[in-house]
Copies of this chain bind each other. A is one copy, B any other.
Amino acid sequence: MLRFAILELLHRKPLSGYDLKKRFAGSVGFFWRAKHSQIYPELRRLESEGLVTASRVPHEWRPTKKLYSITAKGLEELVQWLRERPELQAGKDEMMLKCFAFHLLDPAQAADQIAHHRALHLKRLDSHHEAERQVEARHGSLESTGDPILFWNALTLHYAIAFEKTYIAWCDWALEQQRVFLERTASVDGVSRSGSGGVGSEHQKEEFALS
């Protein structure tokens, strides 16, 4: 997979391993990332397979760069990959995994975790909005561009924004639900069950039948 992300970036413009590393911090980085320790060996492999070519670009002061360019064969493979239908993939989400187990935490701690995570997502949403603003300032809005590269870039960025908004909305909703839940359970059986758990509580619930 990584190879295709690299090939796509090289199609836009020849780049060094170092340049690629930076690309994975923004734009394409919303959907795929890699460390330099993974990028450099992958570039070698791509070169040995004839999908990219390298050329050394010496610079007087800085270290010599190796600029990689995509080959015709590389572009072919990239396009062929694009034509394949991707499977529905299942993401992993550590926060939600924890949330699944929050009945073991005292309610205040659980709420704090959610609130904290909300703040992280809000920060990322802001940085996405900032990115969107910059793209629009440079290249014009989605509605006016005639460049397909810009167009698809804007679409994917929009997805990243929609995703963050959904996450934040869920956090708000979850916090509200928890507030209601605590009020309800407190009034139903008083002090004896002060909230939603603690380590000592015993549960032998039937599993959910989720196909």
Does A38 reach chain B (CB closer than 8 Å)?
no
In whole Å, how far is A11's beta carbon from the nearest beta carbon of chain B? 7
A153 touches B208 (CB 8 A): yes
CB closest residue in chain B, given A24: B90
Does A55 reach chain B (CB closer than 8 Å)?
no
Q: Which of B109, B150, B152 contacts A102 (CB 8 A)?
A: B152
Question: Beyond A170-B158, A207-B27, is A85–B97 a contact (Cβ under 8 Å)?
Answer: no
Residues of B with C-beta under 8 A to A103 = 148-149, 151-152
Does A56 reach chain B (CB closer than 8 Å)?
no
| A31–B167 alpha-carbon span in the complex (Å) | 14
| A170–B210 alpha-carbon span in the complex (Å) | 26
CB closest residue in chain B, given A173: B158
A113 touches B85 (CB 8 A): yes
Q: Which of B12, B101, B173, B178 contacts A78 (CB 8 A)?
A: B101
Q: Which residues of A (35-90) have their CB < 8 Å from a CB of B?
A: 75-76, 78-79, 81-83, 85-90
- A contact residues vs B (CB 8 Å cutoff): 1, 4-5, 8, 11-13, 23, 25-33, 75-76, 78-79, 81-83, 85-105, 109, 113, 116-117, 120-121, 123-124, 127, 130-131, 134-135, 138, 142-143, 146-153, 155-156, 158-159, 162-163, 165-166, 169-170, 173-174, 177-178, 180-181, 184-185, 188-189, 193, 195-197, 199, 203-211
